[in-house]
Structure 1
Amino acid sequence: MKILITGFEEFGEEAFNPSWEAIKRLPDEVMKCQIIKLQIPTSFNRSWEVVEHAMELHRPDIILCVGLAGGRPAITPEKVAINLAEARIPDNDGDQPIDQVIRPDGETAYFTNLPIKAMVKKMRDAGIQADVSYTAGTFVCNAIMYHVLHTVYQSETTMKAGFIHVPYATEQLEDKPRGTPAMSLDSISHGLLLALEAAIAQEDAMEFESGTIS
Structure 2
Amino acid sequence: MTTPTTAPTRVLLTGFQPFGGESTNPSWDAVRAAAAAPLDGVELHIAELPCVYGGSITALRATIAEIHPDVVVCVGQAGGRPDITVERVALNVDDARIPDNAGAEPIDEPIVPGGPAAYFATLPIKACVAAVRAAGLPASVSNTAGTFVCNHVFYGLAHLIATELPQLRGGFVHVPYAPEQVIDRAQPSLPVAAVAAALREIVATAARTRTDLRVAEGATH
2:104 maps to 1:103: no
**3-state SS of 2:136 partner:** coil
Q: Which runs of 5+ in 2 are unaligned?
A: 1-8
TM-score by length of 1: 0.95
In structure 1, give the amino acid aligned to 2:167.
T
- Partner residue, 1:213: 220
Question: Which of the numbers 157, 174, 188 marks the counterpart of 1:165?
Answer: 174
In structure 1, give the amino acid aligned to 2:194.
S
- Whole-angstrom CA distance in 2 between matches of 1:203 and 1:152: 15
- Whole-angstrom CA distance in 1 between matches of 2:171 and 2:194: 20
Q: 1:33 to 1:85 in 2, by over 3 A?
A: same
Residue correspondence of structure 1 range 92-171 to structure 2 within 5 A: 92-171=101-180
- Whole-angstrom CA distance in 2 between matches of 1:154 and 1:141: 20
Q: Number of aligned residue pairs: give it.
A: 212
- Partner residue, 1:74: 83
Contact 1:171 1:185 survives alignment (8 Å): no
- Partner residue, 1:12: 20
- Whole-angstrom CA distance in 1 between matches of 2:177 and 2:84: 10
2:53 maps to 1:44: yes
2:183 maps to 1:184: no
- Whole-angstrom CA distance in 1 between matches of 2:32 and 2:177: 16
Contact 1:6 1:40 survives alignment (8 Å): yes
In structure 1, give the amino acid aligned to 2:14.
T
- Partner residue, 2:65: 56
TM-score by length of 2: 0.92
- Whole-angstrom CA distance in 1 between matches of 2:107 and 2:38: 40
In structure 2, give the amino acid aligned to 1:75.
I
- Whole-angstrom CA distance in 1 between matches of 2:115 and 2:170: 16
Residue 11 of structure 1 and its aligned partner are, at CA, apart by: 0.7
Q: Which runs of 5+ in 1 are unaligned?
A: none
- Partner residue, 2:200: 193
Residue 58 of structure 1 and its aligned partner are, at CA, apart by: 1.0
Q: Deviations over 1:25-67 (max 9, x none)?
A: 1236422321111001100021111101011111110011000
Residue 120 of structure 1 and its aligned partner are, at CA, apart by: 0.2
**3-state SS of 2:201 partner:** helix
- Partner residue, 1:21: 29
